[in-house]
Structure 1
Amino acid sequence: MQKRQMRLVAFLKAGPTCHHHGMWRHPETDNGFLEPDWYEHIARVLEKGCFDGLFFADVLGIYDYYNRSFATMVGKGGALSLLDPLPILAMMARVTRHIGLGATLSTTFHNPYQIARTLGTLDILSKGRMAWNVVTSASNLEARNFGFEAIPGREERYGRADEVLEACMALWQSWDEGALVIDKETGRFADPAKLHYADYRGEWVRTRGPLTVPRSPQGHPVIMQAGSSGPGKAFAARWAEMIFTLQHTAQDMRRFRSEMRAAIEAAGRDPDHCAVLPSVDPIIGETVSIAREKQDFVNSLVDPELGMALMSSHIGTDLSRFPIDQPVVDLPLEEGSRGSFEVILQGTRAEGLTLGEAAKRFATSELAPQIVGTPVQVADQLEAMFTSEACDGFILTPTVSPGTWEQFSRAVVPILQKRGLMRSSYEGATLRENLRAGAKPRDTAQGRAA
């Protein structure tokens, strides 16, 4: 009987930080985020480490909630997306063969035909390795960059998101398998009977089709989603094949996964076809004391004021107006993402953190757990969460770049592989096949016979 195997996905951003907002200041961080070779190296390292995938988080603007200015965010290097990830993913696809490649695109600001055409193209060129991290966006600053005065309400955003997904699926399905013939002798290029109009008409979205892009090897990109609000969870239950979540303890993870699996089953889908992946930040040392020293050092690089600006951006409220010793639970929520605010509350309520304390904590890992220890101890902690069914694997975020990826792949991955908790090679040809390959225990002898 082969064990259920954990899924591993790397969290990336085209800028100076990921979750840890002191990362760019670390002496071992290579701030080569404007160089193609930097991204290509990371992709190769992660593929050598047998990661299922990587994905880029993205922000369509520069946050300016704090003090009504972007000065702190820009000046201190926080939450900046300096490049469009799509061309980067195309470059990463060229230097890899197996690892999944995820892009974040907003259903609020991007047209479904554009999304389907761009991601469909990348899915073909990568031989079926693309994923789409679906976001609805939540900030007015992004809305203004796209010509709107304000972001639509949450219900409308998720209603539109459902329609955008339906429209994209109709477009991706407008080419049947085998539609391309390309027969030089007969002069038959394609079979018109295997090409269809989409003719999708919704309340917010319309598209005629057919898509210009033929069917990809996996049919359509893997759908990834990270909503924490009620509508976000309902959307994930309907569509998601990977769920990115911020949870603070194994108990929180277990509760969230159980809720999502029940919701997915209620939506008529197989819960084993959706990997629930909480975010964790691994910090590895030769000894536990070295690992703790590394943790203390990298966390000391976080600027407290940047933490205030980051929390302001996630909550959608200018926190400079409040005393830093005010409990976070007493903060009013004026606008922005309720899901993000709930994550912050969940991570601070038990400890009764003040605004200033929570801001510093938030900027170190955005309240994701830091997994600290020797390679064996880090593997032990990941195994304990995984085997207790708190998750289906992890979204890993770096504290040093690209050092975190190099060290984890070199030191922790072999331990997980030896324990049978991780693949040693890629089983499938597409991202979807690889995600599903280790989703649940299976009898390998029966599998071979079949």
Structure 2
Amino acid sequence: MARQMHLVAFLMTGPTCHHHGAWRHPETDVEGILHPERYEHIARVLEAGKFDALFFADILGIYDIYDSKFDTMVGRGGQVCLLDPAVILPMMARVTSRLGLGLTCSSTFNHPYQLARMLGTLDHLSAGRVAWNVVASTSKLEAQNFGLDEMPGRAQRYERADEVMEACFALWDSWEEGALLLDKKAGAFADPSKIHYANYAGKWIKTRGPLTVPRSPQGHPVIMQAGSSDRGREFGARWGEIIFTLQHRKSDMQTFYNDFKGRMARRGRAAESCVILPSIDVVIGETVSIARERAEYVNGLVDTQLGLAAVSGQLGYDMSQLDPDKPLKDIAVEEGSRGSFDVMLQGTEAEGLTLGEAARRFATSELCPQLVGTPEMIADHLTDLFQDYACDGFVLTPTTFPGMYEEFCRMVVPILQERGVFRKEYVGTTLREHLQN
């Protein structure tokens, strides 16, 4: 079988999923954010489109960096997560049978026993379709919500994250295959000889086990990760099966792809054991002019203040006192945030943009590529990136919701299928099987 593209949908339980103006679009369902039908519907749409999976990004707090208040982020509809995805996923599992279901959980604020138990339970309830997007949390506001005054340093966060993973795997392996017997006649519910203590003890983490949850259909959830720093890439190269990355151009994607696959090889991992999926934002139109008009309209719904608040939240640096009309090249940012500032606004300074213009650009898609065109044009671009090994597929982020996903599944997916680069039917039943086929 020819190499197959992988598609994962990016979701959040709030008004904004990367595009900070899309919730204001007349076609976006914002009224349904607090209702289960909204999430059940999108799960059905994505399964009909044969997506590998969806996953929920999550933020354990409300950004209040900008002007030292959360007013702009909440009041103007920024990236605020209103609901807990772990409660939503079982609802989505009930209305689907093949679609992978991912959620973000912090290795910084959760104990591995709690994580292993919850994720193992979800993997059972979904018949083996769960992914865990592992994050080593970075924001001070999240730390404060969990009783910490400051966030631990990056090295400590990733040391703990490695131990959390080791402990979770020890707990998932505490039940062997076939340990659950359910033999009524013999009165044998389980085989104790196939259940073991984990007895994990590291520098940061300690847990005895065994886990209460029997071995799940996948053995353990698919591991997803999005670290971009050198330490984050090493973590992903060790544990990741799906890597979510934000790259601006084809050359950036190819550089990241080759670097990451090289790190995997040095760890003795096969290249195909992990798929690398850059974020892509699409705007589809029946003609090029219609697509461009639609993009111009939805991108125009982003306001400058929300853009500045979004950038402030990402950088941990308050931009409220900076002049939004000042050329970006003339903006002075404190040394500690300068590197992040340059990376965040990469590619915009050369266009001579002001700070406000650059912030609005960031808030349209968080600087992931925005593909605008007909279904054939979108399919051409995705196929080119895929076949030139810039990636193994894509994480799609929505503009209008659920309309963008509905249009993509209805108009772009059939073209990819006809070209033989994307599945027409699911081959397996578990998410890991989707990633391997």
Please indicate the TM-score interval, normalised by the length of the shorter structure.
Answer: over 0.9
Cα distance change on mapping 1:367 and 1:178 into 2, 3 Å: same
1:344 CA drift (Å): 1.1
Q: Does residue 327 in structure 1 map to residue 333 in structure 2?
A: no
| Residue pair 1:246, 1:343 contacting (<8 A) in 2 also | no
Q: How far 1:348 moved relative to its partner?
A: 3.2
Structure 2 counterparts to residues 268-283 of structure 1, below 5 A: 268-283=268-283
Equivalent in the alignment of 1:43: 43
Q: Is the 8 A contact 1:317 1:334 kept in 2?
A: no
CA distance in 2, matches of 1:286, 1:348: 29
Alpha-carbon distance between aligned partners in 2 of 1:410 and 1:33, rounded to the nearest angstrom: 23
In the superposition, the TM-score normalised over structure 2's length comes to 0.97
For residues 346 and 232 of structure 2, the distance between their equivalents in structure 1, rounded to whole angstroms, comes to 17
| 1:55 match: secondary structure | strand
Report % sequence identity.
Answer: 62
Read off the aligned partner of 2:313 and give its amino acid letter.
S
Q: Please tell me the residue identity of whatever aligns with 1:163.
A: E
Asked if the contact 1:66–1:318 (Cα under 8 Å) also holds between the matched residues in 2, the reply is yes
Structure 1 residues 82-121: aligned runs within 5 Å: 82-121=82-121
Deviations 1:36-71 (A, max 9, x none): 011000000000000000000000000000000001
Contact in 2 for aligned 1:316/1:334 (Cα 8 Å): no
TM-superposition CA deviations, 1:66-112 (whole Å, max 9, x none): 00000111110001100000111110000000010001000010111
2:283 is paired with a residue whose SS is: strand
Distance 1:333 1:287 in 2: 46
Q: Distance in 2 between matches of 1:142 and 1:385?
A: 36
**How far apart are 1:161 and its partner, in Å?**
0.5
Quote the Cα distance in structure 1 between the aligned partners of 2:166 and 2:224: 15
Matched residues in 2 for 1:217 and 1:5: separation? 24
- 8 Å contact from structure 2 (residues 345, 362) kept in 1: no
Structure 2 counterpart of 1:287:
287
SS in 1 for 2:320: helix
Code of the residue aligned with 2:392 in structure 1: it is: D
Alignment of 1:384-403 (within 5 A): 384-403=384-403
Q: Give the Cα separation in 1 of the matches to 2:139 and 2:270.
A: 33
Aligned to 1:13: 12
Are 1:420 and 2:420 an aligned pair? yes
Q: Which amino acid aligns with 1:17?
A: T
TM superposition outliers: structure 1 runs of 4+ over 6 Å: none
1:8 aligned partner, one-letter code: L
CA positional deviation for 1:321:
2.8
- Structure 2: gaps spanning 5 or more residues: none
- Residue matched to 1:363: 363
**How do 1:183-202 and structure 2 match up within 5 A?**
183-202=183-202
Equivalent residue of 1:319, what SS? coil
Cα RMSD (Å): 1.4
Equivalent in the alignment of 2:223? 223
* Residues 295-444 of structure 1: pairs in structure 2 closer than 5 A: 295-324=295-324, 325-327=326-328, 331-332=333-334, 334=336, 341=341, 343-351=343-351, 353-437=353-437
Question: Separation in 2 of the partners of 1:264 and 1:81?
Answer: 33
Task: Please report how far the alpha carbon of residue 351 of structure 1 lies from its aligned counterpart in structure 2 after TM superposition.
Answer: 3.7
The match for 1:180 is 180
Aligned partners of 1:45 and 1:405 also within 8 Å: yes
Residue 442 of structure 1: aligned partner? none
Q: Distance in 1 between matches of 2:259 and 2:239?
A: 15
Q: What is aligned with 1:3?
A: 2
Offset at residue 352 of structure 1 (A): 5.2
**For residues 374-397 of structure 1, what are the alpha-carbon distances to aligned partners after superposition, in whole Å with 9 as ceiling and x for unaligned?**
111110111111111100000001
**Is the Cα contact below 8 Å between 1:315 and 1:333 reproduced in 2?**
no
Alignment CA distance shift 1:97-1:180 (3 Å): same
List gaps (5 residues or longer) in structure 1: 438-450
Q: Distance in 2 between matches of 1:332 and 1:252?
A: 27
In 1, Cα distance between the equivalents of 2:260 and 2:8? Answer: 19
Change (3 A) 1:270 1:346: farther
Q: CA 1:343/1:212 → structure 2, altered by over 3 Å: closer, same or farther?
A: farther
